[in-house]
Amino acid sequence: MIIKHNNPEIWAAWGTLINKRPYLVNCLFEIVELSKRYDCKWFKAGPVSKEGHPHHPLYLEKNAQLKPFDIDGYIIKTSVKQLFGYIKLLKDYSVDFESDFIRSFYQSGLMDIQYLEHMTTRPICIEEEMKHLDNADYAFSRVLLTAIMREDYFDNGSLMERIKNGDLVRVLKKLKKLYLST
């Protein structure tokens, strides 16, 4: 971070290592939250990688100019990628990083806080709602993901049950398929 005309600014630069270590992405999430509190602007110099990572200053051309960097868009894209990366781990029931995992859900933008409006059962019955997953659109898949996460909030431990019985993996696979097709 630098101070320019008494205003903090952040020059974004990191490589692909950030996706290989979930804790680094979570550190970036914290930095982004802090930067919003201080109304910091984000900048990049030069092109970004295929994944959207700003290149490190060592790799810049001499005439590279600073340009605004969409950190919010990057965070959403990275969170979604990180979340979909958990699918393989969930199949093996190896979620020893539950706080990182849950945080990815909220950072990804894949959850829908208006989920109650789209549920067909009252009170909500996830088992019944899961029957609609095969024909679900993107919106309903997001709603179902949110309902599963909210269920765990009210019934601690239900998320692990949804992982073990494969419900969460099925919802994430459906979301991934629909997300990538848009």
Q: Are residues 38 and 8 in the same domain?
A: yes
Specify the pairing of strand 41-45 against strand 66-68. antiparallel
Q: Are residues 58 and 95 in the same domain?
A: no
Q: Which of 40-44, 100-104, 112-116, 174-178 has the highest mean pLDDT?
A: 174-178
Comparing 43 with 15, which gets the higher pLDDT? Answer: 43
Q: Are residues 98 and 158 in the same domain?
A: yes
Q: Are residues 50 and 129 in the same domain?
A: no
Q: Are residues 57 and 101 in the same domain?
A: no
CB atoms within 10 A of CB 174: 19
Which residue, of 15, 37, 69, is where some domain finishes?
69
Least confident of 19-33, 82-96, 103-117, 155-169: 82-96
Q: Which residues pair with 41 in a beta bridge?
A: 9
Q: Are residues 44 and 117 in the same domain?
A: no
Q: Which domain holds residue 141?
A: 91-180
- pTM (2 decimals)? 0.70
Q: Tell me if 82 is assigned to some domain.
A: no
Q: Tell me if 161 is assigned to some domain.
A: yes
Q: Are residues 173 and 96 in the same domain?
A: yes
Provide, rounded to the nearest whole percent, the portion of the chain with pLDDT above 70.
Answer: 81
Q: Are residues 49 and 109 in the same domain?
A: no
Mean pLDDT of 90-105: 68
Q: Are residues 36 and 104 in the same domain?
A: no
Q: Are residues 60 and 96 in the same domain?
A: no
Q: Tell me if 78 is assigned to some domain.
A: no
The count of structural domains within the chain is 2
CB 159 within 8 A of CB 152: yes
